[in-house]
């Protein structure tokens, strides 16, 4: 769909007319006056280099560059949205004001249990914003397509106009056309044979161009017809390599990425130029992320175009003995590296130099399927997930909000698998490169999942990740590295499948299986994020991650099916055995664990059968030990016994074959797990249980999901252990003299594997794996957990689950406060040194009547000794309550009698009525005096008698006003008095806004409700 602006070879000096040969060097010049292209064709390629059937195709790398450009286009669309206020932010604020919602919405509204109401107000805003971002991405890609089309048309028109004005000589045209037709016939270019244009004098570079749905056009300068014949063949094969790769349009689009990205960046910076204040704060993270995307796009663009030229050179050299021609054409035009390593042009250059072309023949450039591209692919996919999820969540489209996360994750996972699996399936990789792929994919996916998207200061799940981003990253990284390990193993298995229809079908099935696996892992991780935010409970986390969702149920058959397709491939002839008299320094033989497919099958059968029998025997022991206990835990433990049997068999295969045995490992592990589940079901049927299909499905589905999760987590450590073991084995074999007599013993690996299988299953049955497999009561705890700690009570008192009149000891008070604390955001950090907002020293209070009143209350409080009391003081971050954050306090005091608690609440009411306004000493205030107002508010929506008071402190600091506002809620629960208090300070203002007041009121009530719930339970 356009022209490629590459520089394959210089054409040499141009002839002054079409009747004389070009002036070339004496050592390479042909006989005078004779077109050199009529010489015989070069001979076959050297014996040491195999002939390539087709050049390396880089479509996936071109696609990655275009996706990065689309990411920059998302930022441009967001910039247009901000500058023109397409979302009408004022209308969103007005809607929030009518519903008494916080002014900034978002996290504060969700903390109050009003997130759905705020989302309804912001639906149009988020929809337009998502459409603007999507329009930016589509618009930039559309501009690239238009540029490719116009470039191709203009290149065709320019070269044909030049040919019409000054046609090339007939003899030169005939020579070039003859060699061109020869190489087209040799390469089998019949249906897609390109057109040839022999350019006249003045065109110095050969290139290939194309327009949409048109035949490629190869332009060759006529000067090549008067030079060395091997140079002409090299130029023609180089251009035909681009035609065979079918990437002319892709390369043109990649080249135009550099011309489009700078205007798009200027558009992204526009909001800062139009409105520097709010736009700079809003774009605090958008600008650096966009700059990083742009820089990565430019570097990847240049690298892909250089790699494309190297691939075409290698294809040309492999089809004919043209290495000397490439060296002669390139020359030594590469300056010393010391003089140019720091130059930006070295990294942004689209064309390699002649010396670089020659050096590239001796080394295989594999950066495109290594660490860097793996990281970039993961980041791009997860940034797409962030943008798509915001659009689906707030767009009001056909996707229900509850399914938006799964759909967004599935789309991102599919994009990631479509890029990386074909890249990794081209050729087997070294051990180092395999680990680069695994670690790079894990880092890119985990970082993109936790980094904020465009136009945001936090990721889409930032509210639930607050305070434990690092912990979430540490938990996600090994799991996503495991997904990368599965993708690497499957890709290398695809590389061994013969080309044809079967290879294409297998590749499609593998891509879909890897995408489904990544979707299942990320949706489960999201479920754990929500659960950890809600409960902060390890047992509940275990119960959640052991529950297969919809994506997991799809992955259960998809992954083993793809693995089975990779296993059932045509067998290739086995290598002849190595002579027994091989020297001691020869290369190490097969894996030290097992050698040969027959021995591997025997090992799988022996280990799997042992594990299944051990699991069946362990079931009776576990049932006898847990009789009368948690029946569901016993059932769950039996599922784990089935999964552990399959896991160990798969681990044995991975230890034997490494990454290349991933498909066999998944197939063998799934088969053993299915057999174990069926045996367990048959055991129940024989014992008298009804043969219910649901019971059989549970014994097949749940162990399969546990096996899938265990293999993803355990694959990297098992593979690392295998690499370390084989490395030690190879070194030991080099040091040990070769055995000349007697067969090698084959019994230790099977016996050892069978013994460890019994140990693994027995460890699960004995409870040694309880931190992973779970403990009794996990599911009961999940079923009894409260899902929404901030849910309203509908104004109706709830009866207490326990007697609220009971006295509390210090342990009960601390437990109730800890339970309430777990339901608050994690980033609300403890701050025990802060003093309560409403506390004052009666000695300095004015008027004196209020001082006397407060002193009398203090004496009465000391006369009522409390049986137990506790306080939790939290610092609310400024990101939640700007500009300085707030102080949140929860206090519990238990008295010996209910009358004492009632008197405390009555005294608090009387103090508000008697002293609504007073002043007190303040060291920071001008004049050393600050003023305080208290206003009694309507009774809070709580099931017990309560008091809610607004408190306002006003003072001047350095001649400027300052205000601190807060709310205190006091509740009497039997003999216990609880108080929840929040204080927010704002400088340079003399009063709080109404919305800020309402927010503080609601947060104080939420804190009191959490403590009430904790006391009731």
User: Taking a C-beta distance cutoff of 8 angstroms, is the pair 254, 69 a contact?
Assistant: no
- Is residue 514 very low, low, confident or very high in pLDDT (cuts 50, 70, 90)? very high
The Cα–Cα gap between 775 and 980 comes to 35
The pLDDT, as a whole number, for residue 268 is 81
Measuring CA to CA, which residue among 34, 38, 13 is closest to residue 25? Answer: 13
Q: State mean pLDDT over 199-225.
A: 80
End-to-end CA distance of the chain: 69
Query: Can you name the residues that pair with 872 across neighbouring β-strands?
Result: 890
Q: Is the pLDDT of residue 645 over 80?
A: yes
What are the backbone dihedrals phi and psi of residue 987, each rounded to the nearest 5 degrees, phi first? -80, 160
- Cβ neighbours of 399 (radius 10 Å): 17
Q: State mean pLDDT over 624-645.
A: 75
829 in helix, strand or coil?
Answer: strand
Q: State mean pLDDT over 397-423.
A: 81
The pLDDT, as a whole number, for residue 875 is 87
955 in helix, strand or coil?
Answer: strand
User: Taking a C-beta distance cutoff of 8 angstroms, is the pair 160, 217 a contact?
Assistant: no
The Cα–Cα gap between 797 and 125 comes to 38
User: Taking a C-beta distance cutoff of 8 angstroms, is the pair 351, 287 a contact?
Assistant: no
The Cα–Cα gap between 416 and 514 comes to 9
The pLDDT, as a whole number, for residue 519 is 92
Q: Dihedral of CA 525/531/537/539: which sign?
A: negative
Q: Is the pLDDT of residue 795 over 60?
A: no
What are the backbone dihedrals phi and psi of residue 858, each rounded to the nearest 5 degrees, phi first? -65, -40
- Is residue 11 very low, low, confident or very high in pLDDT (cuts 50, 70, 90)? very low
CA 1004 to centroid of chain Cα atoms: 37
Secondary structure tally for the chain: helices H, strands E = 32, 11
The pLDDT, as a whole number, for residue 798 is 39
The pLDDT, as a whole number, for residue 233 is 81
Q: Are strands 195-199 and 929-937 parallel, antiparallel or unpaired?
A: unpaired
For 830, the enclosing helix (H) or strand (E) is: strand 829-830
What's the DSSP call for residue 980?
Answer: E
Minimum mean pLDDT range among 654-658, 750-754, 999-1003:
750-754
The Cα–Cα gap between 870 and 830 comes to 14
Taking CA atoms, 448 is separated from 106, 424, 452, 516, in Å, by: 21, 21, 8, 18
Cα-Cα-Cα-Cα torsion 11, 16, 17, 21, nearest 10 degrees, comes to: -60
CA-based angle 362:657:670, to the nearest 5? 130
The Cα–Cα gap between 414 and 510 comes to 11
- Is residue 339 very low, low, confident or very high in pLDDT (cuts 50, 70, 90)? very low
pLDDT digits (tens, 9 = 90+) for 66-103: 888 887 888 888 888 877 778 777 777 777 766 666 55
β strands within 852-996, DSSP E: 868-876, 886-894, 917-921, 929-937, 946-957, 960-973, 976-987
Q: State mean pLDDT over 191-211.
A: 79
Of 46 and 844, more confident: 844
Got the DSSP string for 187-211? Answer: HT-STTPPEEEEE-TT----EEE--
Taking CA atoms, 755 is separated from 607, 611, 656, 752, 889, in Å, by: 8, 9, 16, 5, 57
The pLDDT, as a whole number, for residue 95 is 74
Taking CA atoms, 816 is separated from 802, 813, 1017, in Å, by: 13, 5, 9
CA 201 to centroid of chain Cα atoms: 54
Q: State mean pLDDT over 4-18.
A: 40
Of 827 and 755, more confident: 755
The Cα–Cα gap between 217 and 197 comes to 7
Peptide bond into 564 cis (omega under 30): no
For 218, the enclosing helix (H) or strand (E) is: strand 217-221
User: Taking a C-beta distance cutoff of 8 angstroms, is the pair 1008, 940 a contact?
Assistant: yes
The pLDDT, as a whole number, for residue 360 is 64
What are the backbone dihedrals phi and psi of residue 401, each rounded to the nearest 5 degrees, phi first? -60, -35
Query: Can you name the residues that pair with 932 across neighbouring β-strands?
Result: 918, 953
- Cβ neighbours of 727 (radius 10 Å): 12
pTM beyond 0.85: the answer is no
Q: State mean pLDDT over 246-269.
A: 82
The Cα–Cα gap between 286 and 75 comes to 7
Of 41 and 433, more confident: 433
The pLDDT, as a whole number, for residue 629 is 54
Of 863 and 7, more confident: 863
User: Taking a C-beta distance cutoff of 8 angstroms, is the pair 600, 510 a contact?
Assistant: no
pLDDT digits (tens, 9 = 90+) for 522-559: 988 888 887 777 677 778 888 888 878 888 888 888 88
Burial call 503-516: b when 16+ CB within 10 Å, e when fewer: beebbebbbbbbbb
Of 781 and 252, more confident: 252
- Cβ neighbours of 751 (radius 10 Å): 10
Q: Is the pLDDT of residue 42 over 60?
A: no
Peptide bond into 883 cis (omega under 30): yes
Measuring CA to CA, which residue among 23, 166, 182, 132 is closest to residue 455? Answer: 132
User: Taking a C-beta distance cutoff of 8 angstroms, is the pair 25, 14 a contact?
Assistant: no
Q: Is the pLDDT of residue 504 over 80?
A: yes
User: Taking a C-beta distance cutoff of 8 angstroms, is the pair 974, 934 a contact?
Assistant: no
User: Taking a C-beta distance cutoff of 8 angstroms, is the pair 660, 493 a contact?
Assistant: yes
User: Taking a C-beta distance cutoff of 8 angstroms, is the pair 785, 534 a contact?
Assistant: yes
| 3-state secondary structure string across 734-769 | HHCCCCCCCCCCCCHHHHHHHHHHHHHHHHHHHCCC
Query: Can you name the residues that pair with 894 across neighbouring β-strands?
Result: 868, 976
Minimum mean pLDDT range among 190-199, 235-244, 500-509, 565-574:
565-574
Q: Are strands 217-221 and 207-209 parallel, antiparallel or unpaired?
A: antiparallel
Q: Is the pLDDT of residue 396 over 60?
A: no
Average pLDDT, the chain: 75
pLDDT digits (tens, 9 = 90+) for 943-1002: 788 899 999 888 887 667 888 888 999 998 888 899 999 988 887 777 887 778 888 888
Q: State mean pLDDT over 120-126.
A: 75
Measuring CA to CA, which residue among 684, 690, 605 is closest to residue 639? Answer: 684
The Cα–Cα gap between 377 and 379 comes to 6
Measuring CA to CA, which residue among 411, 389, 390, 347 is closest to residue 67? Answer: 411
The Cα–Cα gap between 283 and 270 comes to 11
Q: What residues contact 63, with CB distance under 8 A and at least 6 apart? A: 250, 418, 419
The Cα–Cα gap between 327 and 329 comes to 6
The Cα–Cα gap between 272 and 129 comes to 18
Q: What residues contact 582, with CB distance under 8 A and at least 6 apart? A: 738
Q: Is the pLDDT of residue 416 over 70?
A: yes
Minimum mean pLDDT range among 81-95, 464-478, 741-755, 847-861:
741-755
Percent share of the chain, pLDDT over 70: 74
What's the DSSP call for residue 14?
Answer: P
Q: Is 916 exposed, middle or buried (0-12, 13-18, 19+ CB in 10 A)?
A: middle
């Amino acid at each position: 769909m356009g022209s490629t602006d590459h520089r394959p070879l210089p054409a040499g000096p141009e002839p002054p007319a079409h009747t004389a040969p070009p002036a070339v060097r004496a050592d390479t010049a042909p006989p005078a006056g004779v077109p050199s292209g009529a010489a015989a064709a070069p001979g076959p390629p050297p014996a040491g280099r195999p002939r390539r059937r087709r050049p390396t195709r880089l479509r996936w790398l071109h696609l990655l560059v275009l996706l990065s450009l689309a990411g920059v286009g998302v930022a441009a669309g967001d910039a247009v949205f901000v500058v023109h206020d397409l979302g009408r932010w004022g209308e969103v604020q007005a809607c929030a004001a009518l519903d008494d919602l916080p002014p900034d919405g978002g996290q504060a509204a969700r903390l109050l249990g009003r997130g759905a109401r705020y989302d309804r107000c912001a639906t149009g805003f988020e929809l337009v914003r998502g459409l603007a971002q999507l329009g930016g991405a589509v618009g930039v890609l559309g501009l690239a397509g238009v540029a490719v089309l116009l470039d191709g048309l203009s290149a065709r028109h320019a070269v044909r106009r030049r040919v019409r004005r000054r046609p090339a000589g007939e003899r030169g045209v005939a020579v070039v056309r003859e060699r061109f037709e020869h190489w087209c016939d040799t390469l089998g270019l019949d249906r897609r044979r390109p057109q040839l244009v022999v350019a006249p004098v003045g065109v110095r570079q050969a290139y290939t161009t194309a327009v949409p749905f048109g035949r490629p056009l190869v332009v060759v300068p006529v000067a090549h017809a008067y030079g060395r014949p091997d140079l002409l063949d090299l130029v023609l094969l180089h251009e035909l390599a681009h035609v065979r790769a079918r990437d002319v349009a892709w390369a043109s689009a990649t080249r135009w990425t550099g011309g489009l990205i700078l205007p798009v960046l200027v558009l992204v910076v526009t909001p800062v130029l139009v409105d520097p204040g709010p736009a700079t704060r809003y774009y605090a993270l958008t600008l650096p992320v966009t700059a990083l995307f742009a820089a990565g796009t430019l570097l990847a663009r240049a690298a892909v175009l250089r790699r494309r030229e190297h691939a075409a050179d290698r294809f040309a050299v492999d089809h004919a003995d043209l290495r000397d021609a490439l060296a002669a054409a390139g020359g030594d035009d590469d300056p010393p590296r010391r003089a140019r390593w720091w130059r930006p042009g070295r990294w942004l250059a689209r064309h390699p130099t002649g010396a670089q072309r020659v050096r590239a023949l001796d080394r295989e450039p594999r950066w495109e399927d290594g660490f860097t591209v793996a990281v970039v692919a993961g980041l791009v996919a997860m940034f797409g997930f962030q943008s798509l999820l915001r659009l689906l969540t707030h767009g009001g489209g056909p996707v229900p909000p509850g399914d938006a996360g799964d759909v967004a994750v599935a789309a991102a996972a599919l994009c990631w698998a479509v890029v990386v699996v074909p890249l990794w399936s081209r050729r087997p990789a070294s051990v180092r490169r395999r680990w680069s792929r695994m670690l790079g994919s894990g880092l890119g996916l985990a970082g993109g999942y936790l980094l904020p998207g465009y136009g945001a200061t936090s990721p889409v799940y930032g509210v639930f990740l607050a305070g434990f981003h690092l912990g979430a990253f540490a938990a996600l990284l090994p799991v996503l590295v495991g997904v990368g390990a599965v993708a690497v193993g499957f890709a290398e298995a695809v590389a061994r499948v013969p080309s044809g229809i079967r290879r294409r079908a297998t590749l499609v099935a593998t891509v879909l299986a890897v995408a489904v696996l990544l979707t299942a892992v990320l949706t489960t991780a999201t479920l754990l994020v929500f659960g950890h935010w809600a409960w902060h409970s390890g047992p509940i986390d275990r119960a959640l991650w052991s529950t297969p969702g919809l994506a997991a149920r799809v992955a259960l058959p998809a992954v083993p099916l793809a693995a089975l397709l990779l296993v059932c491939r045509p067998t290739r002839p086995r290598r002849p055995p190595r002579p027994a008299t091989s020297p001691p320094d020869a290369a190490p033989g097969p894996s030290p664990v097992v050698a040969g497919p027959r021995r591997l099958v025997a090992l799988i059968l022996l280990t799997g059968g042992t594990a299944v029998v051990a699991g069946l025997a362990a079931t009776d022991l576990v049932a006898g030990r847990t009789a009368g206990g948690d029946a569901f835990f016993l059932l769950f433990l039996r599922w784990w016994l089935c999964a552990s049997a399959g896991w160990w068999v798969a681990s044995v295969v991975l230890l034997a074959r490494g990454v290349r045995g991933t498909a066999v490992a998944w197939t063998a592990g799934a088969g053993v797990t299915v057999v174990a589940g069926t045996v367990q079901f048959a055991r129940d049927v024989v014992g008298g249980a009804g043969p219910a299909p649901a019971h059989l499905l549970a014994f097949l589905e749940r162990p399969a999901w546990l096996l899938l999760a265990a293999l993803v987590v355990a694959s990297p450590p098992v593979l690392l252990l295998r690499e370390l073991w084989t490395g030690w084995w190879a070194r030991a074999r080099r040091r040990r003299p070769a055995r000349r007599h007697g067969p090698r013993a084959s019994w230790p690996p099977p016996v050892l594997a069978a013994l460890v299988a019994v140990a693994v299953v027995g460890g699960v049955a004995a409870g040694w794996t309880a931190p992973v497999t779970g403990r009794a009561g996990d599911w009961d705890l999940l079923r009894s957990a409260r899902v929404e700690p901030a849910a309203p009570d509908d104004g109706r008192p709830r009866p207490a689950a326990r007697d609220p009149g009971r006295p509390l000891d210090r342990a009960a008070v601390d437990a109730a406060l800890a339970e309430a604390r777990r339901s608050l955001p994690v980033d609300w950090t403890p701050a025990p040194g802060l003093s309560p907002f409403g506390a004052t020293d009666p000695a300095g209070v004015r008027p004196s009547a209020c001082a006397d009143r407060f002193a009398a209350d203090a004496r009465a409080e000391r006369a009522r000794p409390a049986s137990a009391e506790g306080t939790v003081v939290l610092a609310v971050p400024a990101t939640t309550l700007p500009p300085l954050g707030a102080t949140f306090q929860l206090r519990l005091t238990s008295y010996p009698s209910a009358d004492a608690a009632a008197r405390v609440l009555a005294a608090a009411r009387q103090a508000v009525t008697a002293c609504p306004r007073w002043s007190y000493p303040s060291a920071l205030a001008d004049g050393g005096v600050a003023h305080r107002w208290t206003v009694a508010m309507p009774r809070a929506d709580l099931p017990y008698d309560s008091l809610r008071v607004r408190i306002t402190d006003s003072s001047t600091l350095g001649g400027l006003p300052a205000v601190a506002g807060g709310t205190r809620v006091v509740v009497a629960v039997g003999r216990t008095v609880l108080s929840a208090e929040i204080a927010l300070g704002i400088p340079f203002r003399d009063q709080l806004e109404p919305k800020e007041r309402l927010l503080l009121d609601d947060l104080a009530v939420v804190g009191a409700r959490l403590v009430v719930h904790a006391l009731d339970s």
